[in-house]
Amino acid sequence: MEYRYLYIIFIFLVILEFFIFILVSFFKKKFQWLITKKDEFPFKKQDEIDYFLKNSFSKDLGWDRKANTKGVELSDESKTNFKINKQGYRKSNNKYTENLITVFGDSYAFCRYVNDDSTWEHYLERKIKKEVRNYGVGNYGIDQALLKFDKTKINKKCKIIFLVFVPETISRIHSYWKHYSEFGNKFGFKPMFKLKKKNLIKIDNFLSRYQKIYEIRKNIKEIKKNDLFYKTKFQKRIFRFPYSICYLKNFQINNSIFFNLALFYLSKIFLSEKNNKFFNRAILTIIKRNILDTYKMYTKAEYTNLFLEIIKNYDKKIKRKKKKLVLIVIPQKIDVLNAKKQRLSYESFFEELKSEYSLLDLTMNFVRKKNINEMYVKDKYAGHLSKKGNNFIASKIAKFLKKEVRI
């Protein structure tokens, strides 16, 4: 009798294992955040490699916006257009020619999902009657943003350098291959800095020449060594045999992902349409987890020390050029929703930083807004600023400049 029960349990476990294996194999075709052992070396399609090398590749920065290019972006709400001029920055449609401010940073500096005449730089220009040059690039950490500053010919009349970033930047500066922290971002190789005996050491982008994209396998030890997230995140989330154990190890996050992806495909079968809200909820599960991990990093000196040293180093460099560094923190929508519930670790960190640098953290400005949804575009990521949101922060930045920077 005992053997019979053991046999039933064994059959059940085999079926469960096979079922999870099938679901992972099926879901990961569309959902890049489910990873298996094959994702250790995800490069297979030559056309994807060719597209990246042609449109985004930068040996010095990892990726960049190419001069004299234009593009289209689609959110759940609209289709928007952007243009990068021959000098490499996103030009607003204003006619101001006297450059006062040059902006470096991530997609919240670039202003994804709005047209050129709806960026916060555009609105800020109209308020201060001076040109604001936008060199923002999506997914940059402050390390890449400031390395881009090094490569950029700054207008002599420019007096202020904006470094604009989301709180998540603290994880980005500890990343060498973003695929290990943002699963599926396989072309996300970047330069980074390390602290060695309190000295800031630059580690060049692994793809220092485009041919190295074919040499990843033989250099994988070096790549893993330089990236914080291979051991702390990527390795822990890989689905491998036994799949059921891997599922249980991250039960809460996997349960949410599998449930929402199942609803996504079932709605397609029974309702003859894809209900993107379920797919987006699966993505949001990943984003929420990443954001919570980010908050924890702000409480540990082993992570914040690198952030502080990068800022300190570039503040000196910018001062030598007789310009002023201004730090601007723009919260993602999920940051605002979390900040409405409790004070976040990064808020305390940036509050202390204000004693040394000109810094504007816009989190509480958004927390005080009644209708937060109108401030952000409805997209599948953490919510980029809408036209109204950009106009709102332009007003806050203009007031800050007048009071703190005294332009």
- Determine the 3-state secondary structure of 358 from DSSP: strand
Give the pLDDT of residue 77: 78
Which stretches of 240-300 are DSSP H helices? 243-249, 251-270, 276-297
- Asked whether residue 292 is domain-assigned, the answer is yes
Cβ distance 326 to 360 under 8 Å? yes
Summary count for the chain: helices (H), strands (E):
17, 11
Structure tokens at 186: 């396989």
Q: Could you tell me which residues come within 8 angstroms of residue 156 by beta carbon, excluding any fewer than 6 positions away?
A: none
Cβ distance 191 to 62 under 8 Å? yes
Give the pLDDT of residue 76: 77
Q: Which is it for the CA torsion 375, 376, 378, 382, positive or negative?
A: negative
Give the pLDDT of residue 1: 58
Name the phi and psi angles at 162, rounded to 5.
-90, 130
Structure tokens at 330: 């723009």
Q: Could you tell me which residues come within 8 angstroms of residue 391 by beta carbon, excluding any fewer than 6 positions away?
A: 120, 123
Cβ distance 36 to 239 under 8 Å? yes
CA pair distance 176, 81, nearest whole angstrom: 30
CA pair distance 251, 242, nearest whole angstrom: 14
- Asked whether residue 117 is domain-assigned, the answer is yes
- Determine the 3-state secondary structure of 72 from DSSP: strand
Q: Which is it for the CA torsion 80, 31, 281, 381, positive or negative?
A: negative
Q: Which domain holds residue 127?
A: 46-405
- Asked whether residue 140 is domain-assigned, the answer is yes
Helices 142-151 + 301-320 axis angle, to 10: 20
What CATH number does residue 201 fall under? 3.40.50.1110
- In the chain, the amino acid numbered 44 is K
Give the pLDDT of residue 144: 98
Give the pLDDT of residue 205: 98
Question: How many separate domains does the chain show?
Answer: 1
Going residue by residue through the chain, which has 407 residues, state the pLDDT in tens, using 9 for 90 and above: 567 888 888 899 999 999 999 999 999 999 999 999 999 999 878 999 999 999 999 999 999 999 999 999 988 778 999 999 999 999 898 999 999 999 999 999 999 999 999 999 999 999 999 999 999 999 999 999 999 999 999 999 999 999 999 999 999 999 999 999 999 999 999 999 999 988 999 999 999 998 999 999 999 999 999 999 999 999 999 999 999 999 999 999 999 999 999 999 998 887 766 568 899 899 999 999 999 999 999 999 999 999 999 999 999 999 999 999 999 999 999 999 999 999 999 999 999 999 999 999 999 999 999 999 999 998 766 689 999 999 999 999 999 999 988 76
- Asked whether residue 30 is domain-assigned, the answer is no
Structure tokens at 28: 């990961």
Give the pLDDT of residue 47: 93
- Asked whether residue 104 is domain-assigned, the answer is yes
What are residue 103's DSSP bridge partners? Answer: 134, 162
- Asked whether residue 170 is domain-assigned, the answer is yes
213-217 long-range CB contacts below 8 Å, 24 or more apart? 213/43, 213/49, 213/53, 214/43, 216/41, 216/43, 217/41
What are residue 90's DSSP bridge partners? Answer: 84, 134
Cβ distance 104 to 149 under 8 Å? yes
- Asked whether residue 26 is domain-assigned, the answer is no
Give the pLDDT of residue 382: 65
CA pair distance 136, 110, nearest whole angstrom: 4
- Asked whether residue 317 is domain-assigned, the answer is yes
